[in-house]
Amino acid sequence: MLTISDIKGCVIIPTYNNDKTLRRVVQEIMTIVPQEVIIIVNDGSTDSTNEILKEFENKIHLVNYKENKGKGYALRKGFKKAIELGFENAITIDSDGQHYPQDIPLLIEKSFENKGAVIMGSRNMQQDGIPQKSSFGNKFSNFWFKIETWISLPDTQTGFRVYPLAPIKNMYLFTNKFELEIEIIVRLAWRQIKFVPVSIRVKYDPEERVSHFRPGRDFFRISVLNSLLVTIALLYFYPKKLLSIDTLKLIKQEAIKPKESNFKKALSIGFGFFMGIIPLWGFQLLIGIPLAVLFKMNKVLFIASANISIPPMIPFIIYLSLLTGQIFIHGNFETNQLLDFSSEVVQKNILQYFIGASVLSIIAFIGGFIISYLLLSLVRKDPIKH
């Protein structure tokens, strides 16, 4: 059987006020991996955690600080310590007792088989005893992770993972709370790191488990982070992805998918142009993707078309929007008035831009739909309805 030394790994346990479960979790982990590969990060606990850790302080690596700064900060400290000690992979596991340390060998095996990959311990969130808020939060997180990375995972909120430390070493992480576990996997995905899920067991014991997740405040922080990540994905990740050969092949496959009508494909393309130009900068995909899903459009063709607003195209879209808006505001169409357009010009003519961009998006929708429908009709037949 493989051991943690086969992946040059360590185990990082971030903990904050989990004195009901901490001792048992550490003792169980010590039966599976050598004690010298265990790193415990005490995130400013105020209960009896410090007394419990004294039992292990000469056996494991301990990172201790007085002020509680959040799980993300604790993980960052754990990663730093692991890198200093020369480890290449880090298994993270929560100290609240929900994970089974006996599943560590499953993660080690997957990590050995998929060198350099992130291994995600995937919980069954449909089993009895799972809090409804946890199940909903996981679905919410999975949805936005897919939008931000084009990768589908069954459990993006699990704390039971294997991280390759090399790509994290020079990564500047800017979050400190629960949202760091989202930030880090999205940014690793953007670096083309592979993700491998593996099924694990989970236990939610309401009598011993203490959760420090604050639904209102932490959900808000996670939502803000997702908004930022989607904006970055729109401006950086999507254009980069769309220029790859694999993506062009995927778009081609979607365009010729036999079971989808030409009307729906053309509608998806037209709607993509519409959302790419409509003056809702930073929110086009946040709004457009749920609508595309709701109306069962072709998501790949929609996202590809929405990227009409990639950075090289933005100046042309703004310029054409100002020209179009000029007709409605001033009743003419004189290009010489806008030849020196700049951010100051846009600010002075914000109403003209907004009206022009809205009209231009409708024109792009109609034109994109008609042209793509005609072209598709020339090269393929509509599927026969049964």
At 298-331, the pLDDT tens digits run 887 888 888 787 666 777 788 888 888 888 776 6
Predicted local distance difference test score (pLDDT) of residue 188: 96
Choose which CATH entry (3.40.50.20, 3.40.640.10, 3.90.550.10, 3.60.10.10) describes domain 4-232. 3.90.550.10
What are the per-10-residue average pLDDT scores of the chain (386 residues)? 95 94 95 96 94 92 94 96 97 94 97 97 78 72 86 92 96 89 94 95 72 63 80 75 64 69 91 90 78 84 81 75 81 52 62 88 94 88 69
Closest to 269 in 3D by CA, of 308, 238, 237, 240:
308
> How distant is the alpha carbon of residue 1 from its chain centre?
33
Question: What global pTM score does this model have?
Answer: 0.66
Distance CA 337, CA 352 (A): 13
Given a contact cutoff of 8 angstroms between Cβ atoms, the answer to whether 227 and 282 are in contact is: yes
So where are the chain's domains? 4-232, 243-379
Half-sphere exposure of residue 18: CA atoms within 13 angstroms, side-chain side:
27
Given a contact cutoff of 8 angstroms between Cβ atoms, the answer to whether 361 and 309 are in contact is: no
DSSP string spanning 287-320? HHHHHHHHTT--HHHHHHHHGGGSGGGHHHHHHH
Distance CA 166, CA 346 (A): 44
pLDDT tens column, 32-62: 999 999 999 999 999 999 999 999 988 999 9
